Chain A
Amino acid sequence: MSPELLFQQALNGLSFGALLFILAAGLSLVFGMMDVVNLAHGAFYMLGAYVALTVVQFTGSFWLALAAAPVALGALGLAIEPLLLRHLRGRHLDQVLLTIGVSLVIVDQIGLIWGREVRSLPFPPGLDGTVVLIGGVYPVYRLFVIAFGVALAAVIAVIYRRTKLGMLIRAGVEDAEMLGALGVNTDRLFALTFAVGAALAGLAGVIAAPVFGLQPGMDVDALLYSLVVVVVGGLGTLGGAVAGSVLVGPVDTFGKVLFQEFALAVIFAIVALVLLFKPTGLLGRIRIAR
């Protein structure tokens, strides 16, 4: 591999990793707070992309879609938590199973409402061009994805460390029951957490749509990738989601190109390897394995 090629592929890997971060951040947040792995996360991602498609069709504005989809998904999350998950509080495994059902319903409804054709979202004007970097031109949009991922991580970090909400989240991740005992309205907090998680999935769906397109089955891929990221990085912490994305994005990119015969197995092999040597994931505190 020439240095130019190496550089370009590294950028490809980083922008893919940035997208994975946006996708996995919500999953990680919900897990950290509620001890629930939301297996409908991929379905939320898919729904976000399709909402964006409709918004772009009617208004022509990608930026409006980027705002509307997370709002719509947040609203859905705000409804699902009290309607379904709350009844099973404390029964984490059952809550996870419930999300399988939610995912089946959402994905099927998307097929009925939007059809099952393959679709694509145009790149937003202004970001559809290229810039000259080492080794030739590079798409602006992919640089935008990197910037967006970094900015989102920064915003989440600030909220985490500097605001009351962040304080509650940090406390909740440590011990959600104790928060309730201290008089915090955990019902509201959990509903809000789940809504934010869903909104982040929707956001990832919009960001990914121009690059990856829209089609049946995209939910499963997104779910698998986000699970891999949080397991590899470490569950329930922001740092873990960042570390997982930064590792998985480039490794997947290089892996696919260098080991084409095993392209599909590469990321899952990373899971096995990381857990073998670091049972908590890279930056996690909870032992996932062993």
Chain B
Amino acid sequence: MTRAARWVALAAVAVGLVTFPYWSAAWETSRFATTVLRDMLVFAIFALSLDILVGHAGMPSLGHAAFFGGGAYAAGIASQRLGTDQLPITLAAAVLVAALLALVIGLLVVRSEGIFLLMLTLALAQIVFAIAFQWTAVTGGSNGLAGVSRPTLFGIDLSAPDRMYVLVAATFLVVSLLIWSLMRSPYGRALTGVRENERRMRALGYDTTRLKLSAFVVAGMIAGVAGALSAYSQRFVSPGDAGIGTSVQAFVMVLIGGAGTILGPVLGAGVVMYIQRVLSSAIPVSETVLGLVFIGFVLLARQGIVGLGRAAYARVRAP
């Protein structure tokens, strides 16, 4: 395939994705499929944001739900307190709050590495969860934040399921493209450099701490976007959105799909959500299955589905 052909194919896929509710309308399952796909894409954005840290910057975090939840609550609370459903306002609130949380937590953890980073992010994210769960006057506490309104953009009401989906799918495309180009920019290369050899990067004159902190904040902001989309889609925010289960879920998605790629986290989100939300209705799927699949990938296919695909492709091309 030529470069141009590849772009055309990608664009076709993109258009197909965004217009899914319309061309699939003929199917009996279209309506439900649309909501499942919508939630998959929300989680794909979330997993992509985590992968900036895990795959690109080499900063494994088990506390990423703090920013997802932070964004979700910010969007929900902003719409309720300010009495607005303007997307730019509520989304800005989500991004701002997520960025602030990421900055604060990032400042505390950014000089840590590997396992330490994993533990610290896990522990510090729990503070955000605790606030969500206990600060009832603001967050609704354990009952969650119910009745979040769906947004309007430039006077267009996005509350209908089809439009809500289009918003999510379009955001997903924008975020994917953004991360893709960011990771190919000098900034992204510097980040990869930090992952591969931080000391060398420092010797070359990079302020690696600042670089890592900025990655943490960018990842947090995008997670905040995903959180806001989740709040609009569900019309509900639960403290669990900021909890350890959500963090682990995103991590599993990134690892299963393949860290350090764009396709990987998306596929991972698709697979995990499909298992949890769709397959679970047909056959009893347990955490055991998910756990075993995860163990299998860590042991045998650390590069995830994308890595397996690449290996298979390479074998086909070079017999």
Contact = CB atoms under 8 A, between A and B. Distances in A.
A231 B123 contact: yes
Interface stretch (A6-14, A64-72, A169-177, A261-269): A261-269
A213 B86 CA distance: 48
Interface string B53-68: 0000000100000000
Contacts of B135: 261
Interface residues of A, number: 45
Contact of B120 (A109, A220, A263, A288): A288
Given A96-B115, A96-B118, A271 B298 contact: no
A35 B115 CA distance: 8
Interface in B72-101: none
Given A97-B255, A104-B288, A88 B127 contact: no
A288 B134 CA distance: 29
A275 B123 CA distance: 12
B134 A268 contact: no
Interface in B111-150: 111-112, 114-116, 118-120, 122-124, 126-127, 129-131, 133-135
Contacts of B5: none
Chain B interface size range = 35 or more
B134 A261 contact: yes
Contacts of B194: none
Nearest to A85: B299
A83 B117 CA distance: 27
Nearest to A260: B134
A88 B295 CA distance: 12
Given A220-B244, A263-B134, A272 B124 contact: yes
Contacts of A102: 291, 295
A198 B306 CA distance: 34
A98 B293 CA distance: 11
A271 B120 CA distance: 8
B114 A104 contact: no
B248 interface: yes
A93 interface: yes
A92 B114 contact: yes
A231 B108 CA distance: 13
Interface string B280-297: 000000111011101100
B46 interface: no
A105 B291 contact: yes
B299 A98 contact: yes
A100 interface: yes
Interface string A17-47: 0000000000000010001110000000000
A105 B292 contact: yes
Nearest to A275: B108
A264 B115 contact: no
B232 interface: no
B247 to A, nearest CB: 11
Contacts of A101: 291-292, 294-295, 298
Contacts of B295: 84, 98, 101-102, 105
A100 B115 contact: no
B109 interface: yes
B202 to A, nearest CB: 15
B235 interface: no
Interface string A227-269: 1100100010000000000000000000000000111110011
A24 to B, nearest CB: 12
A103 interface: yes
Contacts of A109: 288
A289 B291 contact: no
Given A35-B115, A262-B130, A272-B108, A105 B298 contact: no
A137 interface: no
B189 to A, nearest CB: 22
A107 B291 CA distance: 10
B130 A265 contact: yes
B163 interface: no
B124 A271 contact: yes
A104 B294 contact: yes
A269 B127 contact: yes
Interface in A73-112: 84, 87-88, 92-94, 96-98, 100-105, 107-109, 112
Closest 5 CB pairs of A and B: A104-B291, A264-B130, A101-B295, A265-B130, A108-B287
26 contacts: A88-B299, A92-B114, A92-B115, A93-B114, A93-B118, A97-B294, A97-B298, A104-B288, A104-B290, A104-B291, A108-B287, A108-B288, A112-B288, A228-B123, A235-B116, A261-B134, A262-B134, A263-B130, A263-B134, A264-B129, A265-B130, A268-B123, A271-B120, A276-B108, A288-B116, A288-B119
Given A93-B60, A289-B112, 9 more contacts: A37-B119, A101-B294, A104-B290, A105-B292, A112-B286, A224-B122, A262-B134, A288-B112, A290-B111
Interface of B: 60, 108-109, 111-112, 114-116, 118-120, 122-124, 126-127, 129-131, 133-135, 244, 248, 251-252, 255, 286-288, 290-292, 294-295, 298-299, 302
Interface of A: 31, 35-37, 84, 87-88, 92-94, 96-98, 100-105, 107-109, 112, 220, 224, 227-228, 231, 235, 261-265, 268-269, 271-272, 275-276, 279, 286, 288-290
